[in-house]
Amino acid sequence: MTVQAHLDFTVALQDALAEAGAPADNVVWSPYSVASALALVTRGAAGKTKDELVTLLLGDSSAEVEDLIRLLDDAERLAEPQRDQQPPVLEVANTLWADERITVRQAFAAALEAMPSGSVRPAPFGADPEGARELINADVAKTTRNLIPELLQPGVIKQDTVAALVNALYLKVAWRHKFEEAATESRPFHRPGGEVSVPTMWLSENLGYAREPGWQVVALPAIGGVDAVVLLPDGELPTPDARTVKGLLDKTKRQKVNLRLPKLRLKLQAELTPVLNRLGVHTVFTDLADLSGVSDDPLAVQAVIHETVLKIDEQGLEGAAATAVMMRALSLDTSEPVEVTVDRPFLLLVRHKDSGAVYFSARVNDPS
């Protein structure tokens, strides 16, 4: 069920991203990266905050987010290549960057650090916001082989920013059956705004293939147990639901295919908060957020920033993605301090805060 739920999440968020842009725009993003970051936030959430996130990620507020975390963890391990094959490269980092003004719960930190890709690291969001931004960007750039050099743009760290939960992903795999570079030629592509010529690769090979009403499906195998699956509609590109996509993916069988595929270089930078709001995630962004599993200090999500780069050519595919869940402190007062000088008679109460019982009461006219 977790696999279907992850596909449901993929289709729903991709449709929402497409609706947010122009009809002719490309959409490219990483469900793995976004789900990884949001799942870890969900691990530290409670109440309505958690219910909304689990419903988005798994389709049912009663589902267990740890099942999704295990699914994503499984995807960190690629199949071993044969001796004559180019080794695949997969690197993942899940990092909670925390300011000294907050205390991260030991249980949350321990669970994150127990993951092969997990860590908790300090970042000076308050004392040196630009330094914190550069620190996070440098770490993401390292993981993504510099395909994403500046995930966090100037000004993204606010006065009340105290933490960032960041997922970074890099994947580079070669095709099992490489395209012939000499066969690549300029061919027409019928985009929504009119025909355009694009470099188009050619391959004749036994591949996964399915022909279903309205669709052709081709699965291109890559080293490491990775597939790139092309879903080609007969006419205009519709928005199929997740079960239709799952049905198409399950139907492929090996068959000789003469495939012509454009070379691709796709990129997207997006602030995902409006899209997540549209999909029912609201509370985590408000002062009612409950992220008490992350920290004793009251926190809310400030923004969800995502960037993806994907390149496909004759040799294989290379992709990178990063998602930053920026967190703000609810109790942090960033306004100018109010001056209070107790230089005249005053009242004083010493009380038990929760019950209201007063331990001591005083009327002070002369403290000398």
**Backbone angle region of 183, left / alpha / beta, with phi > 0 → left and psi within -120 to 50 → alpha:** alpha
Element (H, E) at 195: strand 194-212
Q: pLDDT digit string (tens) for 120-170?
A: 999 999 999 999 999 999 999 999 999 999 999 999 999 999 999 999 999
* Domain boundaries defined on the chain: 2-174+265-329, 181-264
CA gap 219, 252 in Å, rounded: 7
Whether residue 24 has pLDDT greater than 90: no
Check residues 349 and 269 and name the one with the higher pLDDT: 269
Question: Residue 122 has what pLDDT?
Answer: 97
Query: In which band, very low, low, confident or very high, does the pLDDT at 356 lie, cut at 50, 70 and 90?
Result: low
What value does the mean pLDDT take over residues 312-325? 95
Structural contact between residues 173 and 312, judged by C-beta atoms closer than 8 angstroms: no
- How far apart (Å, rounded) are the C-alpha atoms in residues 99 and 329? 10
Report which of 135, 90, 98, 94 is spatially closest to residue 111, judged by C-alpha positions: 94
Which of 151-155, 313-317, 331-335 is the least confident region? 331-335
Could you tell me if 75 and 90 are in contact, meaning their C-beta atoms sit under 8 angstroms apart?
Answer: no
pLDDT at 204: 92
- pLDDT tens readout for residues 207-242: 999 999 998 889 989 999 999 999 999 888 888 898
**Can you name the CATH fold of 2-174+265-329?**
Antithrombin; Chain I, domain 2 (3.30.497)
- Planar angle of CA 159, 308, 37, nearest 5 degrees: 55
324, two tokens: 């930053």
Which of 2.30.39.10, 3.40.50.720, 3.40.50.970, 3.40.50.1100 is the CATH number of 181-264? 2.30.39.10
Determine the pLDDT at residue 359: 54
Q: DSSP secondary structure string, 124-141? A: -TTT-HHHHHHHHHHHHH
pLDDT class for 194, splitting at 50, 70, 90? confident
Residues whose CB falls within 8 Å of the CB of residue 300, separated by 6 or more in sequence, listed in order: 284, 285, 286, 287, 289, 291, 327, 328, 330
CB 78 within 8 Å of CB 90:
yes
Yes or no: say if 60 and 54 are a contact pair by the CB < 8 Å rule. Answer: yes
pLDDT recorded at residue 300: 98
Q: Which backbone phi and psi does 333 adopt, to 5 degrees?
A: -90, 110
pLDDT number for residue 342: 67
Dihedral sign computed on CA atoms, order 350, 352, 358, 359: negative
Pull the structure tokens for residue 78: 């690629």
83 pLDDT tier (thresholds 50, 70, 90)? confident
Residue 193: predicted pLDDT: 82
SS3 category, 159: coil
Work out the number of other CB atoms within 10 angstroms of the CB of residue 7: 17
Residue 363 pLDDT more than 90? no
pLDDT category at 362 given cuts 50, 70, 90 is low
d(CA 309, CA 320): 5
User: To which residue do tokens 């570079």 refer?
Assistant: 181
333 pLDDT band (50/70/90 cuts)? low
In sequence order, which residues have a C-beta less than 8 Å from that of residue 65 and are 6 or more positions away? 39, 42, 43, 50, 53, 54, 57, 58
Q: What is the mean pLDDT of the chain?
A: 90
Report the percent of the chain where pLDDT is more than 90: 73
Q: Which of 141, 85, 174, 89 is nearest to 322 (CA)?
A: 141
CA distance 91 to 87: 13
Tokens of 45: 């959430």
* Residue 265 Cα to chain centre, angstroms: 20
Q: What is the pLDDT of residues 87-130, one digit of tens each?
A: 999 999 999 999 999 999 999 999 999 998 999 999 999 999 99
pLDDT interval class at 331 (50, 70, 90): confident
Span of 57-66, 177-186, 206-215, 347-356 with lowest mean pLDDT: 347-356
Same-fold call for 2-174+265-329 versus 181-264: no
- Range of lowest pLDDT (34-38, 53-57, 330-334): 330-334
d(CA 143, CA 127): 26
Residue 309 main-chain phi, psi, to 5 deg? -130, 130
Residue 350: both structure tokens together: 């010493």
